Amino acid sequence: MRSVTSWKALALLPATLLLFWGAAPEADNLLPKPATRDSFKRESIPFPDENSYSAAKADLGRLLFFDPLLSGSQSRSCSNCHNPGLSWGDGLPRALGEKQVPLAVRSPTLIDVAWVPRLGWDGKFESLEAVTFGPITGKGNMNLPEPEVLMSRLSAIPGYVSAFKAAFGDSSITRSKIEVALATYQRTLVATEAPFDRWVKGNETAIDAAAKRGFALFAGKARCAECHSGPAFTDGSFHDIGTAKDDDIGRGRIFPSSVKLRYAFKTPTLRDVARRAPYMHDGSLPTLEAVIALYDRGGIERPSRSPKVTPLGLTDKEKSDLVAFLRTLDGAPLSVTVPVLPR
């Protein structure tokens, strides 16, 4: 189980990562129910009890994240698919593997990944720790099928031996230590404050009238907040929204007997959404306008389609207002310095 990290642990984090957002004024009639102030209040980063935060673990995870030693050819790192300059994604319709062959799905952003309970577009990973060696060992992805090879590479570098000792108290390099170090670093990748957050705190000039109308639609008529809920704008769940076709069945591959999970994919965060085109798990929709048009018509009608997805009957002005609101979820780009790697 995850727990909110202690204040003692939080004191170790950089101040920019501890984002606490205040509430909208009680009299703010543009903040419709049930989108109360608590619906969007930021919390401290939830580190799990079994992998509590330490600066040394996060520093080690940062080194590993940017190091191409984690791939078979020693030419690709985690940052190839999760580029901080591209809102921790890659800006492509489908992720590219080591041989530049497109994968089945696009690279998800890592923004606010600490709040995501299950990982992967189909939810096959139960935690960030469990994700680690999926892409590393994947033949079509980073193509390093034997984890022992990675441990041997790292063990031959004195700087890594020292970094593992600082993080864990001994210098042995193991698969589990690599997993928890990378997961610790990734949990620190928190969205920066966006104009929307300043509005929620009470700054009436932070977003314009169109965006305020768009938020009212988002939380009301357009029903977006039913799935894109909370400060990370995701329920962390899986839904068929009427896009995937044929054998692209998402979570249905894991639960083949479930009609409702056929074609179901993870609800992504909407943080930095205007910067993260194209959209959907397969990159099939090029713009926010195209996404809203899909929801407006309700997608493919079939037994697995979520009951939350029905034709909306939005006007052109309402669609424009929704886009205006979504653009207010882009925070300032996070300044990231690529570390000098041990060699």
Average pLDDT over residues 316-321: 98
Rounded mean pLDDT of the chain?
89
* 299/187: higher pLDDT: 187
Question: What would the pLDDT profile of 150-163 be if each residue is shown by its tens digit?
Answer: 999 999 999 999 99
Q: For the chain, first and last CA: distance in Å? A: 37
pTM for the model: 0.87
The pLDDT of residue 5 is 39
Give yes or no for residue 255 having a pLDDT over 90.
Answer: yes
pLDDT in the model for residue 35: 53
Residue 38: the pLDDT is 59
Band of residue 182 on the pLDDT scale cut at 50, 70, 90: very high
* Alpha carbon distance 236, 46 (integer Å): 14
Check residue 110 and give its pLDDT.
Answer: 97
**Band (32; pLDDT cuts 50, 70, 90):** very low
Model pLDDT, residue 181? 98
Q: Are 134 and 123 in contact (CB under 8 A)?
A: no
Task: Give the C-alpha distances (Å, rounded to integers) separating 328 from 125, 194, 211.
Answer: 31, 6, 7
Q: How confident is the model at residue 40 (pLDDT cuts 50, 70, 90)?
A: confident
With contact defined as beta carbons under 8 Å apart, do 173 and 151 qualify? yes
For the cut 50, the answer to whether the pLDDT of residue 273 exceeds it is yes
pLDDT at 19: 36
Whether residue 245 is predicted with pLDDT greater than 80 in this model: the reply is yes
Q: In this predicted structure, what is the pLDDT of residue 276? A: 96
What average pLDDT does this structure show over 314-318?
98
> Any idea which residue has 């591959």 for tokens?
253
Question: What would the mean pLDDT of 90-116 be, rounded to a whole number?
Answer: 95
pLDDT band with cut points at 50, 70 and 90 for residue 198? very high
| Domains recognised in the chain with CATH numbers | 24-42+191-327 (1.10.760.10), 49-187 (1.10.760.10)
Query: Residue range 168-196: average pLDDT?
Result: 97
Kindly report the number of other CB atoms within 10 A of residue 68's CB atom: 15
